[in-house]
Amino acid sequence: MSLRKRINGSRRSPLAAIIVIAAGLLFSGGGFAVATSVVESNIATAYTADQIAEGKKLFLSNCASCHGLNSEGTKAGPSLIGVGAASVDFQVGSGRMPGQGSGPQLPKKTVQFTEEQIGLMAAYVASLAPGPAIPEDQYLEATGDAAHGGELFRINCAMCHNAVGAGGALTEGKYAPVLKGVSAKHVYEAMVTGPQSMPVFNDSNLTPTDKQDIITYLAYMDENESAGGYALASLGPVAEGLFVWIFGLGGIIAITVWLAAKSN
């Protein structure tokens, strides 16, 4: 049988193959493009147009001077396109933003906006481009596996934040902050957005369950006091050494001065 006859005899249109291939390329290529820009599995919150408009107003009066009128970024502040609601919720919610002053790292300050206002600003920034969303409550409860969380924490987080989150130094005056007392939501958001020097821990690296386990571990450390007594800020041998010299040996020397002194 000739080739032509075989093609004519098939039930599918000759274009079908082309369409299938094109669709496949579109989906995989498009999916790939989306994947390389953002890999998050959060369900995007539906924001109303009103919320976005209110958020934009707040943005223009408080953020645009550094982040640009269209959030495109200026010399003073990076672009917010694609950073997602989670970034806003973390940065503004922890008081780091609005950023003031210069220095190697922007510190936490008093929170300047209400929860509602933060939500509106988050809505606006989320509307600019797809980005990490505010995490769902189910991942924020401390009901995960603290042991697994601890293992992940030691591998991914302890080198900057210390094995129990007591904080640590980075170069040139930057630092990884203390994690005690930080809300589960902010911990999650920080992992997912990678604020300042912190790397991004997307959901392929640490799945939402992994992140919940880490939150559970940190919650355990927060709630349970050290079993040996006061922890000396969990700073390790340096604190212990200073303590033994100042209070241990110092106290004993005070006693020896009494011991060797003549009695009245």
- String marking each residue 106-145 x if it binds another protein according to CB under 8 A: ----------------------------------------
* Sequence-ordered list of residues with C-beta below 8 angstroms from that of 47, at least 6 positions apart, any chain: 123, 126, 127
User: How many C-alpha atoms does 1 have within 13 Å on its Cβ side?
Assistant: 7
Distance, CA of 9 to CA of 256 (rounded, Å)? 108
Q: What is the DSSP letter of 168?
A: E
Distance, CA of 99 to CA of 172 (rounded, Å)? 19
Whichever of 50 and 225 has its CB closer to another protein, that residue is 225
What minimum distance in Å lies between the beta carbon of 118 and another protein?
A: 23
Nearest to 135 by CA among 92, 89, 101: 89
- String marking each residue 33-72 x if it binds another protein according to CB under 8 A: --xxxxx---------------------------------
What minimum distance in Å lies between the beta carbon of 60 and another protein?
A: 26
> Which whole-number Å values give the CA distances from 226 to 157, 164, 229, in the listed order?
20, 11, 6
Q: Which of 85, 122, 164, 184 binds another protein (CB under 8 A)?
A: 164
Q: Which of 15, 170, 211, 222 binds another protein (CB under 8 A)?
A: 170
Q: Looking at 16-24, 64-72, 125-133, 197-205, which segment touches another protein (CB under 8 A)?
A: 197-205
> Which whole-number Å values give the CA distances from 233 to 160, 166, 173, 229, in the listed order?
16, 7, 20, 11
What minimum distance in Å lies between the beta carbon of 13 and another protein?
A: 30
Whichever of 90 and 201 has its CB closer to another protein, that residue is 201
**Of residues 205-234, those binding another protein (CB under 8 A):** 205, 217, 220-221, 224-232, 234
Q: Which of 202, 211, 212, 215 binds another protein (CB under 8 A)?
A: 202
Whichever of 43 and 238 has its CB closer to another protein, that residue is 238
Q: CA quadruple 39, 40, 41, 44: dihedral positive or negative?
A: negative
By CB under 8 A, is residue 154 in contact with another protein?
Answer: yes
Q: Report DSSP letters for 104-136, one per residue.
A: SSPPP----S-HHHHHHHHHHHHHHS--PPPPP
